[in-house]
Structure 1
Amino acid sequence: MKITKLTIWDVDYGTSFNVNQHPAILRIETDQGIHGAGEIGLAYGDGNRGAIHALAQLAERHLLGRDARAIGATWDRLYRDTFWGFSPGPLLYGAISAIDNALWDIKGKALGVPVWQLLGGRMHDSVRLYANGWFRNMGAPEAAAERALAIREEGYTACKFDPFEADRDGVFMWPKRHIPREWGLLAVDRVRAVREAVGPDFDICLDIHGNLGTTDAIIYGRMLAPHRPFFYEEPVDPNNVDSMEKVSREVEIPIAGGERLYTRYQFRPFVERQAMDILQPDIGLCGGISEMMKIAALGEVYNLHVQPHNCGGPVASAAAVHAVFAMPNFIILEWFPYWPDGRYDIVQEAYERKASHGRLPAPTAPGLGIELNDDYLGRYPRIEVG
């Protein structure tokens, strides 16, 4: 089964959450009429167009004419023969991840089974989700509490937000390394108000986006701990294992991170030094399904949990869903049910529209269980290779 063509779409939604939103979608076609879908994990922020052109170059040099079923050999080739594969970063590994996920989709379709079946079989009947993307114009603590209560009433049992990323009027801004005390106390008050609103049986996940200095991460982490956060994500620079380890020792909240780490090799020091309790590889950046399962296995050796970072489009969500159903140390999956930009229409039946009461049942369709929506994608510019 030879790879004959790749098509890449740059789906640009402009600015949302104060950053550019632009999922990049891949289709790989074969000479047997079976095709697979992938997505570059750089769906927000800057840099996705660099990854799109890296993907096109990889297609020309390493994919066309090769066996689509040889997933492991393809991953190894992209790691070893591209020269820069030995030094992982978001542009190259965003491209590699999209390729890997599309090849798993092809293989599942060719064999007529869901991808989770190829990864060792289903470990869970359904998976738990936490709601993200609900906190626009959060402002005063009471506003955050009111919205979180609505999420609980929708059936979710967990949510995530960054309590530091907006002022009292709800204006978005990243905090400085040394955050003003009034701003820090406002963040603590937001978490307190949410906890009081949702009660003790609802989990609150906190994402700090790596913005705090080590001292402030410890000071405010200790203030947040009595409100029992489910985890404290990227409290400091995501690549600084020493700072992360120090915060982990000093703050009684499980530490999470990993969306800006690529391959098992970058996760290794955080795992070996127990600097994180919950690993968060992004399936569209870490190296795809193939690499995420290896990262999960590495974490399992140290009794760590995995919560895949999932903040893109519905193709990335589909890949993450199949990985976690086959993952013994999976704990919870990030979920964005409130995107206003229409991205769920990138595929014909998005998993985001199938979740109910904060859970998702196991997919049964072959491959990733999705099909790209050509009519919708036709609105956006594309690159074709082959």
Structure 2
Amino acid sequence: MKISKVIIHNVDYGADAHTHWQIGIVRIETDEGVQGCGEIGLAYGTGAEGGIHMARALAERFLIGRDPLQIEPIWDDMFRRTFWGQGGGPIIYGAMSAIDNALWDIKGKTLGVPVFELMAGRMRDDIRLYANGWFVGLNTPEEWAEGALKVVADGYTALKFDPFGQTPDGRWWYPRRHIDRDWALLAVRRVEAVRKAVGDDIDICLDIHGNLGTTDAIIYGRMLEASRPFFYEEPVDPLNAACMKKVSDNVKIPIAGGERLYLRYQYRPFLEQQAIDIIQPDLGLCGGLTEARKIAAYAETYNVHVQPHNCGGPVSTAACVQLDAAIPNFIIMEWFPYFADDRYAIVTDPLERRQSDGRYRVPDRPGLGVELNDDYLKRFDALVVA
């Protein structure tokens, strides 16, 4: 079997109230008719175009004519023979990740088994989820409490939000390192209102997006302790292990982070300093399934849990579920049930539509467990390498 063609689909939804949504899907085709898919983890923010064109460059140089079942050799070539792979960043690792996941998809389909069977087998039958993205447009603590109750009514036992991400006048905006006190206290009241509304049995996850300075992260983190958050995600700059450790030492909430860390090498200081309690590798950025299982095993030596970051499309979800099913230190998984666009149509039978009571049943379908929807994808531009 040889790789005969690579197509990179640019699923561009344009701007919404928060960001620009642009999902890059990599499709790898073979001369035996088996194909696999992966997703570049740059669906939001700035950089999706870079990831798409990097995927094209990698496909031209390292994929066409190769045996797709040789996953580790291809990964090693993309890492070492690009020169920049050994320095890296989200553009090159996003492209590498999508390609890697597509190769795992092909291998699973070729052998007729789910990817988790190739990664030493199934650890669990279903995956617990937390809901994100439910708070758009909310402002007052009372509005946040009402919004959270709707999420619970939809069957979720955990939810996530950034209480500092909305200004006092209702705009989505990130604060400065030293946040205005009235804004910070409003954020604390939002969390308190959500806790009071949902009760003690619902887990509250807080995402600070790395925006606070260390002092403010500690000051307001201590105020948030009474609301018993499940975790305190990226309270400070996500690349600064020492600052994260300082917050961890001074705030009695488990610290989470890792969506902007790439490969096991960047996770190393956070794990060795025990600065993070829950790591959050993005399967479309961290190096794909090949690297994610190594990161998870590395974290396991420090008794650190894994919660995959998942803020894109249904191919990302499918890859995350395969990892979740196979690793012993999985704890919970992220997803966005309230997107206004039709991104779940990227595949024909998305796992998102099979969610029940805030959980996914692990699928038994071969590969990643999803198939691309050609009728839908033809609406968008694509790059072809053959």
Specify if TM > 0.5: yes
CA distance in 2, matches of 1:220, 1:352: 34
TM-superposition CA deviations, 1:193-220 (whole Å, max 9, x none): 0000000010000000000000000000
The Cα shift of 1:17 comes to 4.5
CA distance in 1, matches of 2:165, 2:4: 45
Look up the SS of the partner of 2:13 in the other structure.
coil
CA distance in 2, matches of 1:236, 1:380: 37
Which structure 2 residues correspond to residues 312-327 of structure 1 after superposition, within 5 A? 312-327=312-327
Q: Which amino acid aligns with 1:257?
A: G
Alignment-derived partner of residue 111 in structure 1: 111
CA distance in 1, matches of 2:281, 2:221: 23
Alignment-derived partner of residue 242 in structure 2: 242
Alignment-derived partner of residue 375 in structure 2: 375
Alignment-derived partner of residue 338 in structure 1: 338
Question: Contact conserved, 1:37 with 1:105, CA < 8 A, in 2?
Answer: yes
Alignment-derived partner of residue 350 in structure 2: 350
Which structure 2 residues correspond to residues 1-386 of structure 1 after superposition, within 5 A? 1-386=1-386
CA distance in 2, matches of 1:138, 1:215: 27
Q: Which amino acid aligns with 2:131?
A: A
What RMSD over aligned residues (CA atoms) do the two structures have, in Å?
Answer: 0.7
TM-superposition CA deviations, 1:154-199 (whole Å, max 9, x none): 1100000000011234221111111000000000000000000000
TM-superposition CA deviations, 1:45-98 (whole Å, max 9, x none): 111111111111111111110000001111111111110111120000000000
Look up the SS of the partner of 1:14 in the other structure.
strand
Q: Which amino acid aligns with 1:214?
A: T
CA distance in 2, matches of 1:118, 1:55: 25
4+ residue segments displaced more than 3 Å: none
Q: Which amino acid aligns with 2:290?
A: S
TM-superposition CA deviations, 1:121-163 (whole Å, max 9, x none): 1101111000001011110001111111111111100000000
The Cα shift of 1:100 comes to 0.4
Look up the SS of the partner of 2:294 in the other structure.
helix
TM-superposition CA deviations, 1:213-258 (whole Å, max 9, x none): 0000000000001100000000000001111010010000000000
CA distance in 2, matches of 1:215, 1:369: 45
CA distance in 2, matches of 1:194, 1:133: 15
Look up the SS of the partner of 1:13 in the other structure.
strand
Q: Which amino acid aligns with 1:210?
A: G
Look up the SS of the partner of 1:145 in the other structure.
helix
Q: Which amino acid aligns with 2:50?
A: G
Residues 158, 17 of structure 1: alpha-carbon distance in 2 compared, 3 angstrom cutoff: farther
Look up the SS of the partner of 1:28 in the other structure.
strand
Bigger Cα displacement from structure 2, 205-214 vs 163-172: 163-172
Look up the SS of the partner of 1:12 in the other structure.
strand
Question: Contact conserved, 1:59 with 1:385, CA < 8 A, in 2?
Answer: yes
CA distance in 1, matches of 2:281, 2:88: 13
The Cα shift of 1:338 comes to 1.0
Q: Which amino acid aligns with 2:76?
A: D
CA distance in 2, matches of 1:169, 1:202: 28
CA distance in 1, matches of 2:170, 2:364: 42
CA distance in 1, matches of 2:86, 2:23: 25
CA distance in 2, matches of 1:316, 1:91: 16
Q: Which amino acid aligns with 1:385?
A: V
Q: Which amino acid aligns with 1:46?
A: T
CA distance in 1, matches of 2:88, 2:204: 32
CA distance in 1, matches of 2:159, 2:371: 29
Q: Which amino acid aligns with 1:242?
A: A
CA distance in 2, matches of 1:6, 1:382: 10
Bigger Cα displacement from structure 2, 11-20 vs 32-41: 11-20
Q: Which runs of 5+ in 1 are unaligned?
A: none
Report % sequence identity. Answer: 63
Question: Contact conserved, 1:136 with 1:170, CA < 8 A, in 2?
Answer: no
CA distance in 2, matches of 1:183, 1:325: 40
CA distance in 2, matches of 1:87, 1:168: 40
Q: Which runs of 5+ in 2 are unaligned?
A: none
Look up the SS of the partner of 1:269 in the other structure.
helix
Bigger Cα displacement from structure 2, 160-169 vs 199-208: 160-169
Q: Which amino acid aligns with 1:275?
A: A
Look up the SS of the partner of 1:22 in the other structure.
strand
CA distance in 2, matches of 1:158, 1:286: 25
CA distance in 2, matches of 1:296, 1:13: 32
